[in-house]
Structure formats: structure tokens, C-alpha cells
Chains A and B, each alone.
Chain A
């Protein structure tokens, strides 16, 4: 038994216009990982690979200690999966769906399902067709949670929700996540959702993982520094600088490795630090993506 809820090693998957390349990703059991990436970055492909719905070209995938896709059936008994494009049956009531899932899973917890119905403010006699999108998303979540899966995989579940419904959904999700000891992978292109829920964050862009760290580390080490440069001073080259822009005597530097030594280096170079600003996860994500794309373009340019 490994300590990981899932492990992807050197996984690649090639499509006509998109390639997921050399993905190494693992989530410790009990952890909550947020997968952030722009649209088309490869988040859903990673999740489909983990579900065995798509087969990798190369590399190994283990989910709950089962090899994917060969052992997907065994693994899926303990995975709760919901995606943005998943819909329930229009003609069925919430109660019908609950009975349906109950008929399949022995570990369906009827008492917990009733608690979730109340908490999500749902009525089991309502048919799916008459529900709002937010209610449908909650109903899908109920169907997953009430069978108490060991691993929860949520692929952009908040997409399409209005701000109020999104806020309610996330708050309710956070509440129910306290109920049990589950591992969770949560993908979104909305950094606020990820920031609210995740312990560990993975940034993905153009089919490649560009950064993985715990949420606190991202927040602690990323800074935007405003500098005033004296006449003869030159911005020093320092590890971890992701972006620097200079207009006249003013410069803005973004670093992913902020520490006290950095301040000393600038002082020694005759540069005055005007301000050190914390960055939001969204700003960190955008900077990381831009930096990664610039690196890729530079590498592509060199190879030509």
C-alpha cells in the first residue's frame, strides 16, 4: 500500500492538436490538491486519465494502488467523480438518482444522504429538469459523497455557477469535506476556488505541469517588489526572478523566491526598495504561466 491516493509517472498523451507531456503528479492520501490551468491546459485530460476514461500513450498511473486503465473498475468503486459537463437524467427525480446509486454501491450511507439533502437545501421529489444549475451540481455532489469514496475527483464543478451559487457551493463543499478523511483532486481555472479548498496546488499550462507546491509556500515566497533605481545602478540577476519591468528609475520585479537576502542584494546594488507586495494566487498563477511560456518560446527559439 502506497501513501498516495494517486500517482502519475512520466505520463504522456498525444492528440492531434494537443499534447500532455511527461506528467509527474502525486497526491498523498488525505490531501486536497487544486489543479489550476487556463482553458485547454490539460486539466480534464489528466482527470480522464486518472478515471481510466482515456488511456495514456506512455507512463504509469496508479489510483488507490490500482494500475490505470487496466484496473479502472476496481479503482472506480472508491472514486467519486463529477465534472462540469456531467449531467444527471432530466426525467429522474433526485430521489430516483439516490436509489439508483444506492442499488450499485453497498457503502451508500442513507442517513448521510438525508443530511446532505437538508444541508444542500434539495428536495428528493424534485425532477432534475426543474432544477437550477447550482442545484444540479449539488445533487451530483450528494450522489458522490453519500457513498463515501476514498478519492474525490472534481473537474471544474463550479463552472457555470453564478457568484452566489458558487459561493454557496464552495462553502457547503468545505463543510462536507470536514465530515470525512478523503483525498481530493479539484480542478478549476478559478484561482479563488482552489485557494479556498486546497492544501497543495498544481499549475498546468499547455499540457505541462509548471509548478507544484503547497498553498502557503506559494503565498509566502511570491512577492512583487517595487524598486527605485539610482542613476548608475543596474538590476542584478537573481535566482527566482520571474519578471522584471523597468521604466526610467522605477522598476517592478516579481520573484518566486522572496527572502531577506534579496533585500540585501538590492541594497548592495544601490537600489531602493519602495514596496514589497504580497501576491494573490491568481497573480502568482498568471506570472507563473507567462514565465513558463516565455521560457518555452526561448527554448524553441534556441533550438531553431
Chain B
């Protein structure tokens, strides 16, 4: 059959994931925007908004991975999907395209909104912008790592283990980054400082994210038994 037909199968798989998950994604997206709005307040509301924002970014990631990858296997709908004219690699491609796209859109909206609030709020120092971007990028890398683990390991347990470690790791990562002299020194400053250290950390995060995606494809291509 033609490539046109093959593309229609990939599109159908992506459409299916969106159809069954859009309500939850939109709900948590709206809560995420509410959290961003809370950042514009001073006092305790700011801190609640901060915690809520990080929670929403993590929850959207978890929702995507568990409902579109882990549950597909757990609820035995994978057999239905694999009865369609696709290979393991087509499946991997469709899952990566859907999850990365949706997460990236949600992440981008929340990131832009967060950075905007930091820039335009008088009570938040603009120096937090590089630090915030580094932390939000770390959440993105954690999402990609859990997604890759879910696809490659085909295991709910391993997905939960990696997700738990990465979630706990967020606090540790925030702490560690704040303690790096070239970052911590400028966090309370009035202007964002994009020094070599900040840019290197961001570059490393991007490279790690791309490497995990590449590794996921490579490991999936070596699989001889898929279901």
C-alpha cells in the first residue's frame, strides 16, 4: 500500500490519543495557567502558584505517558493497535510525535507565561529568568526520559520508578542549580544574566533530551518481540 495510506495510519494513531486525552490535558493546562497567574501575586499565593505550576507540568507529562503508552499495554488495547498495518517503529514514531508535541505545546505556554510573569511582576527579580528556564527544561528532559523508559521497558513499574526518581530529583536539581555560583549570584538581580554557565547548562539539557529520543528509537529498532 502507498505511503499515503501509511501516513493515514500514523495520523489515526495520533488522533486517537488526542481524542481520548484532550479533556484532561486541557483541564490541567488551564490549572497550569491559573498557577502562572498566581505567580503575579506577592505573599503565600506566589509560593502556592509555584508549587502548582511545577505539579501541573509534571501531571500533564504523567497523564500523557500513562494514558497513551503504559495503559495501552496494561489495558490490552495495544493488540488492537498492532493489528493495524504498522510496525513497532511506526508505533514508536506515533507515540513520540503525539506525546512530545502535546507536552511541548503545554510546556511552552506555561514556560512563556512564567517567564513573562517574572519579567513583568515587580516583586519577582528578573534575574530568576535563566534559573526558571533551566528548571522548566529539566522537567521537559524528565518527561522525555520517562516517556522513553515507558516505550522501551514496556513496564509500568519501571515507568513509575523513573518518574518517582525524576520528580524527587526536581527539588534536588533546583537546589543544586541555585548553588552554582554563576547562577545563584544573579538570581536576585534586576536583569537576567545569560552567562556561559547558564547557556552551557541549557545546551546540555537540550542535547540530553535529543539523545534520549535517539536512544529510544535505536532500542525500539532492535526489538524482535513487541507484544
Binding site for B on A (CB under 8 A): 48, 51-55, 69, 72-74, 76-77, 79-83, 85-92, 96, 100, 103-104, 106, 140, 144
Q: List chain A residues, Cβ under 8 A from B15.
A: 103
Q: Contacting B8 at CB < 8 Å: which of A72, A91, A104?
A: A104
**CA of A48 to CA of B79, assembled, Å:** 10
The reply to whether B12 and A86 form a contact with Cβ atoms under 8 Å apart is no
**CA of A100 to CA of B227, assembled, Å:** 22
Q: Contacting A87 at CB < 8 Å: which of B19, B20, B79, B227?
A: B79
The reply to whether A51 and B5 form a contact with Cβ atoms under 8 Å apart is no
The reply to whether B80 and A86 form a contact with Cβ atoms under 8 Å apart is yes
The reply to whether A76 and B84 form a contact with Cβ atoms under 8 Å apart is yes
Taking chain A's interface residues, is the majority helix, strand, or loop, or is none over half, making it mixed? mixed
Q: Contacting A51 at CB < 8 Å: which of B19, B80, B82?
A: B82
Q: Knowing A73-B6, A91-B20, say if A53 contacts B226 (CB, 8 Å).
A: yes
The reply to whether A104 and B9 form a contact with Cβ atoms under 8 Å apart is yes
Any chain A CB within 8 A of the CB of B90? yes
Q: Can you offer 18 A-B residue contacts whose CB atoms are under 8 A?
A: A48-B225, A51-B82, A51-B83, A54-B226, A55-B224, A72-B87, A73-B6, A73-B86, A76-B85, A77-B1, A77-B85, A80-B83, A86-B83, A87-B77, A92-B20, A96-B19, A104-B5, A104-B85
Any chain A CB within 8 A of the CB of B196? no
**CA of A104 to CA of B19, assembled, Å:** 16
- Ranked nearest first, the 3 interchain pairs of A and B with the lowest CB-CB distance are A86-B79, A76-B85, A55-B224
Q: List chain A residues, Cβ under 8 A from B93.
A: none
Q: Which partner residue on chain A sits nearest B11 by CB separation?
A: A103
Q: List chain B residues, Cβ under 8 A from A90.
A: 75
The reply to whether B80 and A85 form a contact with Cβ atoms under 8 Å apart is no
Q: Knowing A53-B226, A90-B75, A91-B20, say if A73 contacts B12 (CB, 8 Å).
A: no
Q: Which partner residue on chain A sits nearest B83 by CB separation?
A: A81
Any chain A CB within 8 A of the CB of B181? no
Q: Knowing A87-B79, A100-B16, say if A55 contacts B225 (CB, 8 Å).
A: yes
Q: List chain B residues, Cβ under 8 A from A52.
A: 87
The reply to whether A89 and B77 form a contact with Cβ atoms under 8 Å apart is yes
The reply to whether B20 and A53 form a contact with Cβ atoms under 8 Å apart is no
**CA of A80 to CA of B9, assembled, Å:** 15
Q: Which partner residue on chain A sits nearest B9 by CB separation?
A: A104
The reply to whether B84 and A140 form a contact with Cβ atoms under 8 Å apart is no
Q: How far is the CB of B85 from chain A (nearest CB, A)?
A: 4
Q: How far is the CB of A257 from chain B (nearest CB, A)?
A: 40
